[in-house]
Every structure is written in structure tokens, then in C-alpha cells.
Structure 1
Amino acid sequence: MNLAYKNQKTLAECKLLIQEPEFNRAFYGKDLADKSLTISWNKGASQKIWIDDIQYDFPEDSILCLMTNQSFHFMHPENIIAWQFNRDFYCIENHDQEVSCVGFLFYGSGPMMFIKLNEEEKRKIILLIHIFEEEFSEIDDIQEDMLRMLLKRLIIIVTRIAKKQFIDKALTDSKLDILRQYNLLVEHHIK
């Protein structure tokens, strides 16, 4: 199932992909125009994922955030639930004060973060998926705002979970913000 929203005037796009058998992205190929950030959840058994031709193990019930310039290929894409959105729909850099994910979930310099979900976290994400599904079918003047609000909530939930799993408790929020800003500067000026 591919649920999609696109604003023809602003080119803002948001998608929710559920059990899509062909869900992969070849950045250096046919999907060159795809400039979407991706949040993917492996709901099935552990599987292989290839990101820029490097193989990783994508654990069961884990979330992985993927950048706009990354090619990816899932061994079992039918077990993936994914949210994709472009900068026109929600710019995480411009709204970092809202979601605190720039330089951490996205634009980070560390290894791939496979964010493991416990039962309570899975329950929250499943509830959010149901609300997303309802909003994709509710076509009116505030649909984009509602989808954007739900996306922000998803990003905040994933960021909180990732902080618990990947950030040292001794690292204060202000020090983490400096690290995130550094990662973003590296991303922008690497070339």
C-alpha cells in the first residue's frame, strides 16, 4: 500500500509505504529526482539491507533513518513500513528546534543507527500509523498540516528512542547540540 500526499503548488510530498514489494531507491539511477528523507521500520524478521552497496543487518523491530542521497535495497521490502518526505513538506534543518534530529538521526557522521523498538514503542508507532492512514484518506484544506504534525510526532518519538539507546547519559543536551551542529557542518562542507 502506497499512501501519498503531494501539493502541486509547493511540490511538498509525504508518503507512507506499507508492504510495498518494490520499495527500494537507486540514487545513482532511475530515482535521481527522489529527494526524500526516509524513516523505515523493519516489522519482519531480521533482514539484509544494502545502503550505497554496503550490506548491513537490519534487525527485527528496528527503525533506520535514510538520507536523500543514499541508495538502498531491502532483502524483504514487503516487511518494511516507511515514511518518506521531501524538504518542501518538512525541512528538518529549518525546524530543528521542534524535532532535534538534524546531525543525529539525519546528517549524522556515526555508523548506521538501527533503533530497536520495545513493545510499548511499537504500540505507539502502530497507533500513529493508523492515524496516518486516516489522514491520507481525509482530503481537505488542512490535510497537509495534519500530516506534517503527525510526521513531527513520529520524528520526535524516534529521536527520543534513539537518544536513550545511542547517547551517553553524561552528555548534556547542550553538548549534544554542539555535536549535532558539527555533524551538519561536516555534511554541508564535505565536498
Structure 2
Amino acid sequence: MHLIHISPKTKGKLIFNHQESSPAHFSGGKKEDEFLLTINLNGSESQEMVINGVSHQFEPYGLIPLLSGQIFSFEKPELITSWQYSRNFYCLTDSYFEISCLGMLFHGYSGNLFLRLDEDHREKLRVLQQMFIEEFDTVDTTQTDMLQMLVKRLVIIVTRLAKEQYLSGKVYEEEKFDLIRQFNLLVDQNYSKEHQVQYYASKLNKTPKTLTRIFTQYGYSPPSAMIQERIIMEAKRLFYYTSLSAKEIAYELGFTDAGHFSRFFKNATQQNPSDLRKLQN
């Protein structure tokens, strides 16, 4: 099942995928799909999932939100239910930062959020799946509003799970967590031009040392590593989905010296850029 809804007012897009055997739209790497945010729900069997070239075990009834621009695929896509939406379909204001499209699931945490569902949450998601299917069939003037409400409900459920499973035992301080979110958002907007922590720290009126301390408090990678991870993510997307040369990709990502980019890429991935391109041929 592959259902699409376009908001008449904003032209925002919502895609609901349920047990599709050949979901080409899952990859998330094509430029025109870069704006889509995704929440994926696995079925009753464990399977391999590849994210940005790295293999992960996706547990039964597991759930994972993914950023736009991430490249991903599933061993058994026919078991997957996914929700993909653009920011102009669903994005609450900053006062609701935890559950906005700029919130915890997509800009508030470093790394991949693999979440576990107990029986209660499995039932909640099962009911929600059915509500989405029914609402896609109800074409009237309130359809967009209803679908946005369902997306909000989904995001709230997933955000609560993420806080419980990834912030459990940590003192949650809204101001500090919002700082992390703002940092991640700034990196997402500027990684192709700005590679130094000092730039982002100054934008946030903090010192690099203060940022590092706050990130460490929540168990995050250092800010410098997070900038590096975002650059590598985009580099891989460009290698996988474009015919740009390594030199052209280096320029796209703000490197004036192709040799510097090659060393940067190899240090981060243990691969030469040329080797990665060969794997795609």
C-alpha cells in the first residue's frame, strides 16, 4: 500500500507506505526527496537495515525516525510501515520544539534512534495505522487537518518513547536540550560551508568548550564529530545518487582542496572516495 496526500494550501506532502515489496521511495537519497522526514516501523521479524552504508539489525516491532538526506534500505521492505512527510506538511512552532519537525526525533539526538515497542505501543501503532488508512479514503475539506492531527499523534508517541529509552536516568533540562536541537539544525543548514565548531558556538552565543560539556552531559558525540557525520552523510548521498566526481563533491561540501577532502573522508570511513564510487558501479 502506497498512499500520498498533498496539502491544498501548502503543497506539503505526506506518504504512507504499508508492506510494499518494492518501495523505491524508501531510499531517501534522491535530491527531490531530500526534504522528507521518515518514521519506520518494522513488522514481526528481525531484518537487516542499511543506513548510510552501515548495516544495522532492525528488531521485530522496532521503530526508527530518519533525517532527510539519509540513505537507507531494508532487507524485507514488505514488513515495513513508514510515514514520510515534508516540513511544510507538518511543522509546529518552536514553542513545541520537542514534537516539531525540528524537534527531538530529527534534530535533538545524535545517532540513530532505534526504539523498542512493548505490547501496549504495538497496539497503539496498529490502531494508528488503521486510522491513517481510513483517513486517506476520506476525501473532503478536512482531510488535511485530520492527517496532520494523526501525524502529530504519531510524533508524540515516538517522542515519548525516545525520551524514555534514550534520556532515562538523565536530568532533562529544556534549555540545554533546546541548545542541542538548535546546534543540530544549524549544522543541517550550514555543514556544506562551515566545518568548525567555533562558527556554530558563536551563533549560539556559547564557547566550543561549553557546547562540548553540554553534549557530554547527554551522552552525545562531541560537536566536531557531529559536524563531520553530517558532511559524510551528504558525501555518501552524492556518491550514491549523482555522477559528480570526487573533486566536484569536495567543492559541493566546502573543501577547496580535493586531496584534503579525500583524507577527511578516509579518516572518517576507512574508505577512499574512489573506492566508494566503484562499489556503486
- Counterparts in 2 of 1:65 and 1:95: CA distance versus 1, 3 Å: farther
Q: Identify, as 1 or 2, the structure richer in helix.
A: 2
Report the counterpart of residue 181 of structure 2 in structure 1: 180
Q: How far apart, in 1, do the equivalents of 2:109 and 2:101 lie? A: 13
Q: Which is bigger in relative contact order (C-alpha 8 A, separation at least 6)?
A: 1
Q: Residues 1-191 of structure 1: matches in 2 within 5 Å?
A: 1-7=1-7, 10-24=10-24, 25-28=26-29, 31-34=30-33, 35-91=35-91, 96-97=96-97, 99=99, 102-108=102-108, 110-174=110-174, 175-191=176-192
- Counterparts in 2 of 1:96 and 1:154: CA distance versus 1, 3 Å: same
The TM-score with structure 2 as length reference comes to 0.62
Q: How far apart, in 2, do the equivalents of 1:27 and 1:82 lie? A: 12
Secondary structure (helix, strand or coil) at the match of 2:57 reads: strand
Per-residue deviation, 1:140: 0.2
CA contact (8 A) 1:63 1:115 kept: yes
Per-residue deviation, 1:108: 4.4
Q: Deviations over 1:55-87 (max 9, x none)?
A: 111111111111111111110000000001112
Per-residue deviation, 1:51: 1.3
Give the AA of the match of 1:89. F
Q: How far apart, in 1, do the equivalents of 2:134 and 2:98 lie? A: 24
CA contact (8 A) 2:41 2:80 kept: yes
Larger deviation, residues 148-157 vs 31-40? 31-40
CA contact (8 A) 2:36 2:85 kept: yes
Aligned residues: 189
Per-residue deviation, 1:8: 5.4
Larger deviation, residues 164-173 vs 48-57? 164-173
Gapped runs of 5+ residues in structure 2?
193-281
Secondary structure (helix, strand or coil) at the match of 2:4 reads: strand
Q: Quick one: percent identity of the two aligned structures? A: 37
Q: How far apart, in 2, do the equivalents of 1:87 and 1:155 lie? A: 13
- Counterparts in 2 of 1:67 and 1:92: CA distance versus 1, 3 Å: farther
CA contact (8 A) 1:103 1:109 kept: no
- Mark the structure with the bigger radius of gyration: 2
Cα RMSD after superposing both structures: 2.2
Per-residue deviation, 1:98: 6.7
CA contact (8 A) 1:40 1:82 kept: yes
Q: How far apart, in 1, do the equivalents of 2:95 and 2:147 lie? A: 15
Larger deviation, residues 62-71 vs 153-162? 62-71
The TM-score with structure 1 as length reference comes to 0.88
- Counterparts in 2 of 1:27 and 1:136: CA distance versus 1, 3 Å: closer
Gapped runs of 5+ residues in structure 1?
none
Q: How far apart, in 1, do the equivalents of 2:169 and 2:101 lie? A: 17
CA contact (8 A) 1:16 1:84 kept: yes
- Counterparts in 2 of 1:91 and 1:101: CA distance versus 1, 3 Å: closer
Q: How far apart, in 2, do the equivalents of 1:26 and 1:81 lie? A: 14
Secondary structure (helix, strand or coil) at the match of 1:106 reads: helix
Q: Identify, as 1 or 2, the structure richer in strand.
A: 1
CA contact (8 A) 2:39 2:82 kept: yes
